[in-house]
């Protein structure tokens, strides 16, 4: 009996120790424990060590305050122009109120998924296919705002919603691919045409500049040729003028020398006091020079006429003397 009683006492002591140990709870960082007492909300335990009264208190929920990411499966939606496509979303949310999260809604993730699907259908139903494919940011902003307002009373804050994939029907995808291919071909042709146009413009401008340069070169060559001809004519005229000046200067100097010589001869003749017959003889020589000219009429002075007769008589005498000697 004593052995059995000792075992029972030991078991009770161990049970009490286990209960006491279980009364001490540690709340990790970024977590909140919701505590109920006698089945109703009592408190929220923050990070640290807490004591749980056995059989009175219980942990209704352990809530993580970290931001969570949920990837929901694709949802079928219909656009305004009656095109059905599949869209899957990614929701980034964070629990801000542990009490409301525990008591506000049953199965919060399912509630967020369904709310996200219905909101997405409402937004896409007001948009056409092309707008849906090109307005991801607008759709993300709208659905984030609506979900954040709806989940606020559940203690949940929706930080961001992203459209992960938009999958239109296969025939729509084929049509879009053909459209994009045609658009790319059109742009390619436009770019090629613009390139050809620019190339032709550059060639034409190059030819134009080449012609202008050739014309300018020809013009400058003609100008230089004309300038050279002008300079040559000026130089020839200067040479002719200088030649004539030199000839005139030479003639003037020659005439001046002749006149000077004549004046000197007259001065010498005057100084020699010539006789009248010598003067008449000089006059006869001058008359002979005058007779050699081109004048048709010659006026002979009376003195020269007498002198001429004297010269003729003298010549006759000389001739007769010459014949006698023979």
Averaged pLDDT, 46-73? 88
pLDDT tens profile 283-305: 666 655 555 555 555 555 555 45
36, burial (CB in 10 Å: exposed 0-12, middle 13-18, buried 19+): middle
- Given a cut of 70, whether residue 263 has pLDDT beyond it is yes
Find out if CATH 3.30.479.30 is the number for domain 68-168. yes
Q: What are the start-end ranges of the E strands in 56-115?
A: 57-64, 68-71, 75-78, 84-95
More confident residue, 153 or 271: 153
pLDDT tens profile 127-138: 888 888 888 888
pLDDT tens profile 190-249: 998 998 899 899 988 888 888 999 889 889 988 988 888 888 888 888 888 888 888 888
Cβ atoms of residues 114 and 161 within 8 Å: no
pTM of the model: 0.51
More confident residue, 253 or 96: 96
- Given a cut of 90, whether residue 91 has pLDDT beyond it is yes
The pairing of beta strand 84-95 with beta strand 68-71: antiparallel
> What's residue 314's pLDDT?
47
User: Phi and psi (nearest 5°) for 63?
Assistant: -110, 130
d(CA 213, CA 239): 38
Q: Return the residue matching tokens 């409301």.
A: 100
d(CA 4, CA 41): 43
Among 33-42, 71-80, 278-287, which is the least confidently predicted range?
Answer: 278-287
More confident residue, 60 or 133: 60
What band does 33 get if pLDDT is binned at 50, 70 and 90?
very high
Averaged pLDDT, 30-57? 88
Averaged pLDDT, 147-165? 90
């Amino acid at each position: 009996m004593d052995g059995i009683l000792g075992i029972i006492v030991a078991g009770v002591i161990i049970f009490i120790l286990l209960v006491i140990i279980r009364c001490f709870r540690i709340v990790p960082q970024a977590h909140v424990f919701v505590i109920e007492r006698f089945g109703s909300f009592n408190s929220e335990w923050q990070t640290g060590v807490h004591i749980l009264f056995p059989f009175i208190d219980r942990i209704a929920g352990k809530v993580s305050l970290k931001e969570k990411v949920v990837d929901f499966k694709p949802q079928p939606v219909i656009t305004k122009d009656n095109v059905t496509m599949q869209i899957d979303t990614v929701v980034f949310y964070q629990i801000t109120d542990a009490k409301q999260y525990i008591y506000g809604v049953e199965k919060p993730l399912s509630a967020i998924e369904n709310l996200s699907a219905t909101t997405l259908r409402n937004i896409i139903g007001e948009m056409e296919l092309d707008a849906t494919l090109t307005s991801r940011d607008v759709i993300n902003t709208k659905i984030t705002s609506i979900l954040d307002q709806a989940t606020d009373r559940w203690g949940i804050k929706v930080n961001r919603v992203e459209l992960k994939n938009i999958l239109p029907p296969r025939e729509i995808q084929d049509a879009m691919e053909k459209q994009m291919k045609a658009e790319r071909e059109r742009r390619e042709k436009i770019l090629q045409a613009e390139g050809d146009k620019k190339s032709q413009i550059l060639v034409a401008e190059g030819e134009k500049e080449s012609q202008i340069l050739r014309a300018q070169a020809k013009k400058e060559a003609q100008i230089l040729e004309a300038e050279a001809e002008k300079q040559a004519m000026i130089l020839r005229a200067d040479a002719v003028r200088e030649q004539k000046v030199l000839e005139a200067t030479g003639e003037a100097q020659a005439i001046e020398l002749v006149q000077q010589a004549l004046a000197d001869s007259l001065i010498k003749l005057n100084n020699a006091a010539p006789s009248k017959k010598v003067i008449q003889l000089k006059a006869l020589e001058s008359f002979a020079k005058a007779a050699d000219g081109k004048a048709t009429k010659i006026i002979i002075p009376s003195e020269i006429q007498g002198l001429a007769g004297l010269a003729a008589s003298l010549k006759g005498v000389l001739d007769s003397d010459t014949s006698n000697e023979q």
